[in-house]
Amino acid sequence: EDAMAEADPPKVATPSNGEATPWNANCRVFSTRATTALLRILRDKRTGQRVYAEAADRLCRVLAEEALASIAEEPAPLPVETPCGVALMAGGRHVRDESSICLVDIMRSGAILMDAVRHLAPSAKTAKILIQRDEATALPELLYSKLPPRVEEHDVLLCDPMLATGGSAVAAIDVLKAAGVPEGRILFANVLTCPEGLQRLAADAPGVRIITCAIDEKLDERKYIVPGLGDFGDRYYGTAGYDEGYWGTAA
């Protein structure tokens, strides 16, 4: 629905790739030519369901690789012996034990991103959390959660393509914290966010790290991200918006 934008297009507020954001010190922007090209397809209101789903799956696979490499990072360069010498490598670290990771899907759109991660780490544990947002108040309500045993012993990758108000994300994080997972072991991956959502997590879950492909300008009065891309799940699954003409006007 926020594909129905104002006459003057809002600006995208994304900092440079890898920079910390002013709204949340634990948020890092992951932006490449590939993510930008795919996000352009997702934003376009003319994009039909088939093309949208294909682009979403491709973008989630790219983000999934970066998220997995960001679960554990090497703060200082470590030597890696190559056939020709020694390379000093810093930053992301390959996850050797997939079973030490728990992938958490904030249903339903979170499944799109989580499935992309599972293709890369099929031995990772999975969890489901269903939170319904009241469209009138934008407040979240927890309806269902299923976590694996000893989830507190795992590094958690929380998956949801959109971080808008932050209400659903905080509710999901509260479920994990109640199960014993410390904030410092949670990485939240999303495609698109905004300052309001980042500020909410900075206030209510300051230890949670966030990786996102873009930060947009703001939320509108309906609590949709602007300029955004509309409803990620409805456009992907085809459940709303096409017949109404909100998006998908191209074949």
Active site residues: 133, 137, 231, 234
Q: How far is 21 from 25, CA to CA, in rounded Å? A: 6
Q: How far is 182 from 173, CA to CA, in rounded Å? A: 9
Residue indicated by tokens 């002013």: 22
> Residue 43: phi, psi to the nearest 5?
-70, -30
CA of residue 153 relative to chain centroid, distance: 22
Angular region, 24: left φ>0, alpha ψ -120 to 50, beta rest = beta
Beta bridge partners of 188: 158, 210
Token digits of residue 168:
């659903």
Residue type, 179: A
Residue indicated by tokens 């039909």: 48
